[in-house]
């Protein structure tokens, strides 16, 4: 199952990929207008599967959709830093023996094909292609053996970071939360379509046609199951919550010379079996 959250004729809609075609499902069920509403309903995925099996919904052209963040206002967005050995090695930090966790806020989130906004306060705007795991069931005190049963599906994130603000203090919150810097989507892929834990998937990030990151989700230091076990020991995870699983090596600030995003750049994050997340870079508008 492959779902998306979009605007169609100015209205929020849940869409589903049926072969090569996008179906507007919101016209046949008033319950769901984005992926988060599906995940919040105990029977949400079953209802959507039934709609798809009976080929209900109205065909829409992708060009008529404005993509929203996959879950526009998730309860929690928990991100992992330094979760690939090669990225930890290129950073000023030691390789972690416990996940480096930080939060993103909903005001930072944008959808596929929406502009990544380079703030006027900095010219150190960096890219980070990442896997996303979306929680489908309430999880607290989960063990690693059971953890993947709490995942509904996977998607793609670009954790675009303002590096000089990230490194102003030991806490990364500001540098990871400027408005319009967290690209998310466009497709939710249900767990049955991917390997367990979405492991072994090639992940690449390009600026234009230049490959900047080329990693594999098998190389995460803390996989999806282990992350859920560790996080849920302290924090209850709820349906629709988002785990952003870290980035492989090759980020811009670690290059010599550094490579930072500029207006006019197009950033494409691709994850095998999931798809592409594409965003153009623009400068922040002046008041």
Tell me what pLDDT residue 30 has: 85
Tell me: the pLDDT tens digits for 221-235? 999 999 999 999 999
Per-residue pLDDT at 171 exceeds 80: yes
- Look-up: residue for tokens 């906004």? 117
> From CA 79, how far away is CA 159, in angstroms rounded?
9
> From CA 144, how far away is CA 190, in angstroms rounded?
20
Enumerate residues 6+ apart whose C-beta is below 8 A from 68: 5, 6, 7, 12, 34, 111, 185
Average pLDDT over residues 76-87: 96
Tell me: the pLDDT tens digits for 239-265? 999 999 999 999 999 999 999 999 999
> From CA 88, how far away is CA 254, in angstroms rounded?
11
> From CA 237, how far away is CA 280, in angstroms rounded?
32
> From CA 107, how far away is CA 178, in angstroms rounded?
8
Length of the chain as a residue count: 287
Strand arrangement of the beta sheet that strand 116-118 belongs to? 116-118, 275-283, 266-271, 202-207, 210-216
Q: Give the gyration radius of the chain's Cα atoms.
A: 18
Are residues 30 and 51 in contact, defined by beta-carbon separation less than 8 angstroms? no
Strand partners, 7: 12, 66
Tell me what pLDDT residue 155 has: 98
**Weakest-pLDDT range from 75-79, 86-90, 131-135, 154-158:** 86-90
Average pLDDT over residues 208-233: 98
Per-residue pLDDT at 287 exceeds 80: no
Per-residue pLDDT at 182 exceeds 90: yes
What is the residue-averaged pLDDT of the chain? 96
Tell me: the pLDDT tens digits for 82-128? 999 999 999 998 899 999 999 999 999 999 999 999 999 999 999 99
Average pLDDT over residues 193-213: 98
């Amino acid at each position: 199952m492959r779902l998306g959250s979009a605007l169609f004729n100015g209205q929020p809609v849940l869409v589903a990929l049926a072969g090569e075609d996008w179906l507007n499902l919101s016209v046949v069920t008033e319950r769901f207008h984005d992926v988060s509403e599906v995940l919040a309903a105990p029977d949400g995925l079953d209802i959507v599967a039934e709609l798809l099996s009976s080929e209900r919904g109205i065909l829409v052209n992708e060009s008529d959709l404005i993509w929203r963040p996959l879950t526009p206002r998730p309860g929690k967005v928990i991100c992992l830093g330094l979760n690939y050995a090669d990225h930890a090695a290129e950073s000023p930090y030691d390789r972690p023996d416990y996940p480096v966790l930080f939060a993103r806020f909903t005001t930072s989130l944008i959808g596929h094909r929406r502009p990544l906004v380079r703030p006027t306060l900095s010219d150190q705007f960096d890219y980070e292609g990442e896997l996303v795991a979306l929680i489908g069931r309430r999880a607290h005190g989960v063990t690693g053996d059971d953890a993947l049963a709490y995942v509904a599906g996977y998607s793609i994130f670009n954790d675009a970071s303002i590096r000089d603000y990230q490194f102003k203090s030991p806490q990364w919150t500001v540098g990871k939360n400027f408005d319009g810097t967290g690209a998310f989507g466009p497709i939710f892929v249900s767990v049955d379509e991917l390997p367990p834990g979405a492991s072994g998937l090639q992940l690449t990030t390009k600026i234009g046609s230049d490959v900047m990151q080329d990693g594999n989700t098998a190389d995460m230091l803390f996989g999806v199951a282990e992350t859920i076990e560790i996080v849920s020991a302290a924090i209850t995870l709820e349906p629709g919550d988002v785990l952003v699983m870290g980035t492989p090596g090759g980020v811009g600030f670690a290059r010599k010379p550094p490579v930072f995003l500029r207006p006019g750049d197009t950033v494409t994050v691709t994850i095998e079996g999931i798809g592409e997340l594409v965003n153009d870079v623009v400068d922040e508008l002046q008041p």
